[in-house]
Structure 1
Amino acid sequence: MTVGRSRLDPAEATEQPLELRFSVTSEGRVRGVTATPTELSDSIVRSVSTALGRARYAPRIENGVAVDTDNVALIERVLVRNPPPQADQSASQQD
């Protein structure tokens, strides 16, 4: 979940960046969302990409006319829950 909307306790999660590239049409619609390679899970990338695809932008204006804009970059900060501490380590330290 993105940092601003997450309900995770920041102490229990790690912030990771997700870079997305896309085009904005002259109507303000998002098209062609792609993510740069990341260690984030496919489900997180898909969720953020889907949300971005629903967004609407003000199109770029050239000479008073709305035009398409390609190769727009967005870096979204995502909180990912930290893995639980491994029980094996504490048990092996007691031996």
Structure 2
Amino acid sequence: MDNTTDAILQRTIRREFAGCIVITVAHRIPTVMDCNKVLAISDGKLVEYDVPSKLMNNKASLFGQLVKEYWARSGNAGSNSGDWSE
């Protein structure tokens, strides 16, 4: 799925299921950035579970490292737009 279609799908899920518990399985970082909690799995084992912002502020965090890599590869390193939905 391309990024534009993914963004449309994520907006639709957030709008239509606003009052529901939604479990999202994702490989794209922006898909989970505004989730209440993130569960990171490595080699089939639970590595961490917490609020995305807390994990990003932890230098030892797998999720934090993945976010850093994602933004470095996407050319948005250091971007603090706060709009993770697109």
Q: Report the structure number with the largest CA radius of gyration.
A: 1
- Of Structure 1 and Structure 2, the greater helix share is in 2
Query: Which bin holds the TM-score, normalised by the shorter protein?
Result: under 0.3
| TM-score (normalizing by structure 2) | 0.24
- Of Structure 1 and Structure 2, the greater strand share is in 1
| TM-score (normalizing by structure 1) | 0.23
